[in-house]
Structure 1
Amino acid sequence: METPEGYLTVNVPITRPGVFPYQRQDGTVQMEAKLPEDIFSDRTIYSARSKPVTDGHPNEPVTIDNYQTYAKGMSHTDSRVEDFKLYISLTVTDKTLIEKIHDGYNEISIGFLSDVVAESGIYNGDQYEYVQRNVEINHIAIVEKGRAGPEVAIRADSDAWQIDEKGGNTNMVKIKIEGTEYEVDPAVKAHIDALKAKEETAKVKGDSADALQGRLDALDLTIKAKDQEIATLKEQVLSADELDKQVEVRVKLIDAAKPLLGDSFDFTGKTDREIKEAVISTTKQDFKGDGKSDDYINAFFDAAVEQVQLNGFSSTGANSAYTGDAGGDKDLQALKNERLNMRK
């Protein structure tokens, strides 16, 4: 009815349970169900109250920031379930929209947010692949053709196929199956096309999954190699205490070797063994360290240094230096034992 001010107030159904085709952004179509337990839940019923009425669907949710741009009226607070539909009263306050309604632009489509859950089943003989859960109504649009059909109109979900409950759409389309053409309802063809698109998408996803798995495997190998590299570097990094110990050992070695090698000897870049072999060479001119074990070199070096410490011998006179010849292996073993005892 029209109010004295010229507004139009109506009590109308705005949505109903059912299975409806929805076109996704990639162009595919999927059948989604509005089931009674969802569309008639308290959450959805209350969400219809005090919501903007719009002329068609805006391309964004209606909020306080854009209300003046889109709102052409408002819903009341009497939302309830009647005749297995969700009803509410609306007041349209825009003159142009009221005139369009009188001219037949009078079906209703809800703008809403929901969780679309992959769940297949059959409702009232119609098969669906997805279910709309947690439906919250954002606005109520007046459209030329709503998704819920003329049952939900002034006497949702626009730019969709209108499904005639009494026998289907009269504008039949043709599809070809194994060379034979059949006339079917456009919604049926859309559903078949959607299934084909899903099959193609699944194939592409399968190929992409294989490629992705290959990349993941390669990345896993790279990570393992880096982990091993990091572990190796950690083993090579000396702690402060370890570094201090190595410096102390090196200084002691140089201090012990200097009396035999003299100040002119360059210790830079020499390994501990090279320094010890140089010391041994001062006491035994024909000495060659090739093939000698570290234990042999260490024992010979310790003995030579000890001899210097006992006799005050230095590199200026090698005649009294220890040569390692006297006792052969027995003498060498004694030196090893003595070296071990000094370390206790």
Structure 2
Amino acid sequence: MIFTDSVPVSGVRRTADGYLVAEAFVARTGIQDYLGSEIDPNNEHGLRDVPIVKVYRPESSVFHKDAMNSYAYRPMTNDHPGGDGVNSQNWKDVAVGNTGGEVIRDGQRVKVPLVLMDATAISDFEAGKRQLSMGYGAEIIFQDGVTPEGDPYHVSLGPMKMNHLSLVHSARAGEEFRIGDSKPNTPTGGHDMADALRKLLVDGISIDVTEQGAQAIEKLNTKLADAATATKTLTDAHATAIALKDGELAKKDDEITKLKAAVISDADIDKRVTARADLLTKAKTIADADYTGKTDAEIRKAVVIAKLGDAAVTGKADAYIDARFEILVEDAAKNPANDPFRQHMIHQDSAAGGDDSEKARLKMISDMQTAHLPKA
């Protein structure tokens, strides 16, 4: 499994050939922090959802004979090459120097010499790109345990095997020897290490998390915010739709109310028929004509015009015309002789008789019919 580890540099100097040489601590024993998703991405060992997995590098891992031999004559790169690290296929393209052969154990750390030979890499170093990150492989042993110092851990590493040493702007770990910088592929292909802890405010609480943990939390927060926005959008759209439906229902209710108001009862119909018949009778009493299709107001106006002429209604309001009509009705009631029906009957009766006796009979009938009226 390929790991990376930030390392400090000391004793930096330039050679007569322009190379840059230095010494660096490349490994140490102890516990490093990983993300559970990095150590056990498929959750085969139940660690994927563990926020921080403690990984123990014992002396048998760091100072194993094979591990010590692997620290010597390793290629140096300007940034990590990615993938499975450096091999014979890409060495010519990515190598900018190498580590030396004098590998020394210094307490719980390993120190090696190094040389940068590429002019661009040297210029980058002198311009401020001064951190080193080691890429190495190691077997992960999934078994809980406790260090000799009494610190518990989740997994431990087998013998380390250094692959390369990279010049980087900033090793993610930020502090000495913290693992971090490569991407996980397969159990033998690579691993994305936990970043340096940084403070993050979560729901008003300040917590310390790795850079990757912070990114995961921020991504989740973004998704939550997006979900909240989407929910609000849906809620607003739903509220708008409900409001439109309510408006349509209110409009329908108003139409129903109007239709109900427009429906008249049988009693109302009788009243209207009686009133219409009464109006037609009065109109014909004053001016016998065909009033079919006319409104009540049009009938009154036609009667007034027939009796008094157009000048009687020109420029006059409906109330005035109605009043003139009622006066004509009253006048007609005072003079039944003007009743067209009565005149028609008399005319028919007179036409039926041709002699004086018949005329006298008709006159007597007329006198009897008008005897109750006041004399003129």
TM-score where L is the length of structure 1: 0.46
Q: Is the radius of gyration larger for structure 1 or structure 2?
A: 2
Higher relative contact order (CA 8 A, sep 6+): 2
